[in-house]
Amino acid sequence: MATAPPAVETVELRKSYGGVVVLDGLTLRVARGSVHALLGPNGAGKTTTVRILATLTAPDGGAARVDGHDVVRDRRRVRRSISLAGQHAALDDAQTGRENLEMMARLAGLTRSAARRRAAELLERFDLVAPAGRRVATYSGGMRRRLDLAASLVGEPSVIFLDEPTTGLDPRSRQGLWEVVGELAGAGVTVLLTTQYLEEADRLADRIAVLHGGGLAAEGTPSELKRRFGAHRLELTMHDTTSFADAAVRLGDRVTHRDPVRLELAVTTDGSGTQVRDLLDEADPDRRGIARFTVRGATLDDVFLTLTSRPMAAGRREVAGV
């Protein structure tokens, strides 16, 4: 069976601003109907990548295609296939929620009656029927975000770019938006998501790309990345300062975290019972110094810190699971 072409693809994508290299040969492929997250520190090139893919910024080099269309040569076709929800809601505060959606539908080419029907569908889908007649200026942050996402779906795009869509939202509003993203993917829409929230990427993404130094530092499913670049941790809390100091000396440079005030130490481990027992015996051979211990699994925080705290070699990328 032939493999379906990717919904989004970049090959050796490059972009600089005033001599500052933002993208330095980024190659990325996003499968159709998937949620693909871009992670990276500030300045890693996440928003620039989205802007290039959305035809808002021209690349300096390389190539990018969305839904099979080149973002430079076929800009109009790309724009008919996509939608973009940026970091700030693009709404008219003076209009009601319903008016915003009907206006967007009319701009997308729908007739007046079709625009009303589409707006009603989206208001229902995003749980905005009750406030639909209110001016958007009165909406909460979560309501504005849901309305902005609804507006981005008026034209029923095959690919949607979400650039840090939950920034500034409270936990309940963020949870609601996560459910909407899950529904979009379930309906076959391809979602490319940039986010600063590692929990968000872990929860939503089928695959995660970590950007660092203008390129792709690593890519894979959340579990693959955690298995390859994260590590289990054995966290120790000691009884007193003497046992803390003695354990720190015994474990040496394997200690990854130390807090003398809380009497806490941490070392990496493979998580096996044998190694954990050996580390406990090594840190506390008399079995009198450890007050308690915890073994914690790897998280995306560990992956993120591991990948973004080391220099990015030119042309280097690591794809988990490959």
Q: pLDDT of 161-209, one tens digit each?
A: 998 888 777 788 788 788 888 888 888 899 999 988 888 899 999 999 9
pLDDT at 311: 58
Computed on alpha carbons and rounded to an integer, the radius of gyration of the chain in Å comes to 24
Q: Taking residues 291-313, report their average pLDDT.
A: 79
Q: What are the pLDDT digits (tens) for 273-293?
A: 999 999 999 999 999 999 999
Question: Counting Cβ atoms within 10 Å, is residue 151 exposed (0-12), middle (13-18) or buried (19+)?
Answer: buried
User: For the whole model, what pTM was predicted?
Assistant: 0.75
d(CA 53, CA 287): 58
Report which of residues 321 and 159 the model is more confident about: 159
The candidate with the shortest Cα–Cα distance to 161, out of 260, 237, 57, 256, is 57
pLDDT in tens, 241-263: 999 999 999 999 889 889 999 99
96-138: pLDDT as tens digits: 999 999 999 998 889 999 999 999 999 998 889 999 999 999 9
Look up the CATH architecture of domain 8-227: 3-Layer(aba) Sandwich (3.40)
Could you tell me the sign of the dihedral formed by the alpha carbons of 41, 42, 48, 51, in that order?
A: positive
What residue spans define the domains of the chain? 8-227, 231-297
> Thinking of the domain 231-297, which architecture would CATH place it in?
2-Layer Sandwich (3.30)
- Rounded to 10 degrees, the C-alpha dihedral 274/278/281/282 comes to -170
* Partners of 54 in the β-ladder: none
Q: Are 282 and 218 in contact (CB under 8 A)?
A: no
Is residue 66 within 8 Å of 159, Cβ to Cβ? yes
Q: Are 71 and 52 in contact (CB under 8 A)?
A: yes
Residue 127 makes CB contacts below 8 A (sequence gap 6+) with 146, 176
Q: Residue 163's pLDDT is what?
A: 87
State the pLDDT at residue 177. 80
Burial of 186 (0-12, 13-18, 19+ CB in 10 A): exposed
**What mean pLDDT value characterizes the chain?**
88
- H/E segment holding residue 255: strand 255-259
Q: At residue 267, what is the residue type? A: V
Burial 287-299 (b: 16+ CB within 10 A, else e): eebbeebeeeebb
Which residues on adjacent β-strands are paired with residue 13?
26
The pLDDT of residue 256 is: 83
Q: Can you tell me whether residue 27 is helix, strand or coil?
A: strand
Q: Based on the number of CB atoms within 10 Å of its own CB, is 249 exposed (0-12), middle (13-18) or buried (19 or more)?
A: exposed
Degrees, nearest 5: CA angle 300-43-62: 100
